[in-house]
Amino acid sequence: MSSHEYTWETLFHFNCGECSNWWSYAGVLESNQLRSPTMTCPHCGYKTKIKLKEGSVLNGEAEQVASPSDCKSPV
């Protein structure tokens, strides 16, 4: 018998700082030390920097942006 196969992704939920609508993004956001990551709201087109929502935790530490090395597959 063959093993079950799977892929791994991260699901991010955003709230627009301008129109307050929300959307989700599946995948990996890469950090870039030369500039802050930005996203564009699909509802109103507002583009700005992103930040982890206050009080939220990502991989056990607050105030981080995910990078490919942060994604670990389950055992």
Return the higher-pLDDT residue of 73 and 45. 45
State the Cα–Cα distance between residues 68 and 75, nearest whole angstrom: 18
User: What's the average model confidence in pLDDT over 38-42?
Assistant: 94
User: What's the average model confidence in pLDDT over 42-54?
Assistant: 93
* Residue 47's pLDDT band (cuts 50, 70, 90): very high
Q: Where are the domains of the chain?
A: 7-56
In this predicted structure, the answer to whether residue 19 has a pLDDT above a threshold of 80 is yes
Question: What secondary structure does DSSP assign to 23-67, as a single string?
Answer: EEEEE-PPPBTTB--EEE-TTT--EEE--PPTT--BTTBSS----
User: What's the average model confidence in pLDDT over 47-75?
Assistant: 64
Q: What is the pLDDT at residue 52?
A: 87
In this predicted structure, the answer to whether residue 58 has a pLDDT above a threshold of 90 is no
